[in-house]
Amino acid sequence: MRLVFGILSPIFLLLCVVAIHGEETGEWRQYQDEFKRIFTERAQAKLADAQTRGDAAETARWTRVVGEVSQLQPEIKQAFISELGVADRCASCHLGIDDPLFADAPQPYRSHPGKLLESHEPNRFGCTMCHDGQGSATATEAAHGREANWPRVMMPTAVVQSACSRCHEVTHGLAGGERVSLGTDLFINKGCYGCHNVRGAGPLPKFGPPLNNLKSKLTDAPAWIGSWIKEPALVAPGTAMPNFLLSDEETGKITAFLLTLGKPTVTKPVVVDAALVEQGKRLFTERGCRGCHGVEPGERSISARVPHLGTVGSKVTAEWLDAWIADPKQANPETAMPKVVLEAPDRGAIVAYLMSLKRTEPLPRKADSGKFDAAEGKELIKQYECFGCHAIDGFQDVRPAVPDLGEFARRPVAELDFGTVKDLPRTKWDWMRRKIREPRAYEWGQIKLRMPVFPMVEDEGDSLISYSMAMPAPALPASYLVKASAAGSAARTVSWMIGRLNCNGCHRIDGKDAYIATYFERKSRVGPTLDGVGGRLQGQYLYSFLMEPKPVRPWLTLRMPNFGFTQDQARSLVDGFAGRAHADNPYTYVAKAAIDKEHFDRGIRRFRHYKCIQCHPSAVGGALPEGVDPDDLSINLMLAKERLRPEWFMEFLARPKQIAGNQTRMPTIFYTVEGAPKVEHPDEDIKDIVSYVMGMTEDAETTLKGFEEEEKAEQKKEAVDWSKVQY
């Protein structure tokens, strides 16, 4: 008995020692010791550096820091935010999180990247509010949420931006929220919204074209449809149409059903004149078609949604094509294709050109629709819910029944069905990455999945995941929620519309050159940049221009097409562009009364003096001066008073190259590119000219006639040598 006691008792002592030792050398304690070492090292390096430089203030500062560091005691650091019920102890190991000294330190000491902590004080937001994980834990695995029954695993960097949406209703324009914003855009531009619900956007048009009249649209409908739905990418590489992984039988049935729709339309046959092909080819570029559509092999369309026209001659009938180009909205009221301004002969040439583009190799499939039952095809369409993206007769007003992504965002990972997949970490993002890559991966037993395979690059997938997991957190106190501002939601709408309407085809946007720019030798031949357009143009003007474009730039062959915007769409575009340019009220303009006579009169003289009229003829009637290359002409300044914002105008005169880019043909008159004044009173001159132009009531040619005498007298005084002016 005594022996047992004598042995057990020391064993207990040993256990006790182990327990206390474990408590004293916990993981976070070790990290704190290591942190102290690194901190001392770095602070001393800074101190030594300051001493060698002889910087007294810095020396004092770092001496103090070194002293403070040596006093550091191990302690659990906790950010407690009672409003949120958050008590995050992450900083117990992530000790350098808000200290720039640790910007390049190894983890867990590295400071937070970016400037996010400046607007999100850890004191007010904690860590887990954005990152998830288990803030109360002080051991690595548990703290990062990798623990049984803890629903909120810490999000990896790839998808962490989904947290922005917990507070920010709109993430467009937020620094650090690019990825979730991109995901929001992709969700629309990839057509996910066809089946899944989308937050924040109103009713959107069907993503794909209507399938109701394929018989008269396609030349060889049975073969083409069969090949297309079997594997779209084989028929048109890079298409947005996903692959539904259909069996040959299913393909045949669906083809059979689609061929029963619509009736052959009796249209006047279109005569294709082969002689016009070359002209059509030139017009295809000059009129901007190529801004969106790829046509040569190897060339891409601006987006996957825009068809590549390289083989269009074998696909559609000339009648259909002609009618389509004449007015796309007639055939499909929801199409993004605008009505391009084209005279009938030009249209004929383009049709001729397009019809000459034939498929070199035959379609992958033969027509064999005859032996399949169209009724079964209809059942399959019901099953695969093709009507999510396409208008199909018999399926009007039916919404696809698919999982709600808002619910997905709320669901804990434990409720996701991983099917028979074993090799995947049990997180939402891993689940979804696989789902996007292999939509049928989680099929098992009775569970049949229908989601098709979308062509996707990894980064796009992660952006979509960020968006899908994003959801406003209803439990947060109101003081944390950032409602969408009018400008913010308009900016989001613009972002969506730019993606849908492919503005980038002809305009420079977000620093990305116009897609069509490669086909023009002169960079000035493409449409004006849309960066800052909201700050450049008066809202009222932009609105009316969008609703009904009128030519402004005489030298362009491209013409802004009519997109057939609704009033709401045009208004969102105007608001959104203004929001993007950080311009406040898009409807301000200078009333004529506000322009005082003195500046106006001086402005006339300055206008004449700087020979603005040489490039900017403003004679009413719009007839261009003869014998002048349109490339040498610029915008009619009579339009300026309703077009331009005066503050932009003044900026532009002072720094044309910085604002409009180097391709502008506007010379630098008042300041050099570096910003040195080139004339005696640049600011006054600019102000005067702007006053004049914004107040013009008759064309400058007429006005200036009255000043010819004065001009002569003045020319004697100061002569500008135009050969030396920098263009």
Partner 1 sequence: MASSRTDQFRRKAVDWITTSQLYRSVFRHGYADTVRNRALEVTSNAFLHLHPITIPAHALKVRFTFCLGGLTFFLFLVETVTGVLLMFYYRPVPEYAYADMKTLQYAVYFGMILRNLHRWGAHLMVVLVMLHMLRVFLTGSYRPPREFNWVLGVNLLVLTLLLSFTGYLLPWDQLAFWAVTVGTNMAAATPFLGAEGPFHGLLGVNGMNDARFLLLGDVRVAGSALLRFYVLHCVALPLVAGVLMVVHFWRVRKDGGISRPL
Partner 2 sequence: MKKEAALQQLVELSRREFLTRGVTAAGWGSFAVVLGAGTLESVRFFFPRVLYQPPTTFRIGTPEGFLARKGDADAYGVISVDERWKPEHRFFVVRAKDRVYALTARCAHLGCTVNWFSSLDIFKCPCHGSQYHSDGRNFAGPAPRPLDRLRISVGVSGDLVVDTSVVYGVDRFDTEGAFVALA
Which residues here bind partner 1, judged by CB under 8 A? 19, 23, 76, 78, 85, 87, 89, 134, 136-139, 142, 148-149, 151
Rounded Cα–Cα distance for residues 248 and 232 (Å): 14
Q: Which of 44, 364, 60, 306 is nearest to 189 (CA)?
A: 306
Which one of 16-24, 198-206, 326-334, 641-649 is the stretch in contact with partner 2 (CB under 8 A)? 16-24
**Residue 3 Cβ, how far from partner 1 at the closest point, in Å?**
13
Q: Does 121 bind partner 2 (CB under 8 A)?
A: yes
Q: How far is CA 36 from CA 63, 70, 78, 113, 537, in A?
A: 15, 8, 18, 21, 57
Residue-wise over 339-363: b if at least 16 C-beta within 10 A, else e? bbebeeebbbbbbbbbbbbeeeeeb
Q: Does 639 bind partner 2 (CB under 8 A)?
A: no
Yes or no: say if 494 and 534 are a contact pair by the CB < 8 Å rule. Answer: no
**Which does residue 151 bind out of partner 2, partner 1, none, counting CB within 5 to 8 angstroms by kind?**
partner 1
Q: Which is nearer to partner 1, 93 or 357 (CB)?
A: 93
**Which does residue 628 bind out of partner 1, partner 2, none, counting CB within 5 to 8 angstroms by kind?**
none
Q: Which is nearer to partner 1, 92 or 189 (CB)?
A: 92
**Which does residue 714 bind out of partner 1, partner 2, none, counting CB within 5 to 8 angstroms by kind?**
none
Q: Does 139 bind partner 2 (CB under 8 A)?
A: no
Rounded Cα–Cα distance for residues 609 and 601 (Å): 13
Q: Which is nearer to partner 2, 105 or 413 (CB)?
A: 105
**Which does residue 620 bind out of partner 2, partner 1, none, counting CB within 5 to 8 angstroms by kind?**
none
Q: Which is nearer to partner 2, 9 or 557 (CB)?
A: 9
Q: Does 289 bind partner 2 (CB under 8 A)?
A: no
Q: Does 727 bind partner 2 (CB under 8 A)?
A: no
Q: Is 133 helix (H, G, I), strand (E, B) or coil?
A: coil
**Which does residue 139 bind out of partner 2, partner 1, none, counting CB within 5 to 8 angstroms by kind?**
partner 1
Q: Which of 134, 179, 160, 137 is nearest to 28 (CA)?
A: 137
Yes or no: say if 225 and 431 are a contact pair by the CB < 8 Å rule. Answer: no
Interacting residue with partner 2 among 31, 35, 89, 541 (CB under 8 A): 89
CA angle, 237 then 242 then 243, to 5°: 90
Which one of 95-103, 182-190, 308-316, 387-395 is the stretch in contact with partner 2 (CB under 8 A)? 95-103
Q: How far is CA 133 from CA 28, 30, 74, 127, in A?
A: 16, 21, 23, 9
Q: Does 79 bind partner 2 (CB under 8 A)?
A: yes
**Which does residue 5 bind out of partner 2, partner 1, none, counting CB within 5 to 8 angstroms by kind?**
partner 2
Question: What single-letter DSSP state applies at residue 218?
Answer: B
Rounded Cα–Cα distance for residues 261 and 215 (Å): 8
**Residue 136 Cβ, how far from partner 1 at the closest point, in Å?**
4
Which one of 99-107, 383-391, 535-543, 677-685 is the stretch in contact with partner 2 (CB under 8 A)? 99-107
**Residue 566 Cβ, how far from partner 1 at the closest point, in Å?**
49
The burial class, CB within 10 Å (0-12 / 13-18 / 19+), for 431 is buried
Q: Which is nearer to partner 1, 20 or 486 (CB)?
A: 20
Q: Does 720 bind partner 2 (CB under 8 A)?
A: no
The residue with tokens 């603005």 is 612
Rounded Cα–Cα distance for residues 576 and 582 (Å): 10
Q: Which of 453, 457, 464, 472 is nearest to 429 (CA)?
A: 464
Q: Does 65 bind partner 2 (CB under 8 A)?
A: yes
**Residue 133 Cβ, how far from partner 2 at the closest point, in Å?**
17
- Torsion over CA: 483, 489, 490, 495 (sign): positive
Q: Which of 248, 487, 242 is nearest to 384 (CA)?
A: 242
**Residue 6 Cβ, how far from partner 2 at the closest point, in Å?**
3
Site residues (vs partner 2, CB under 8 A): 2-3, 5-10, 12-13, 16, 20, 23, 57, 61, 64-65, 75-76, 78-82, 87, 89, 98-101, 121, 123
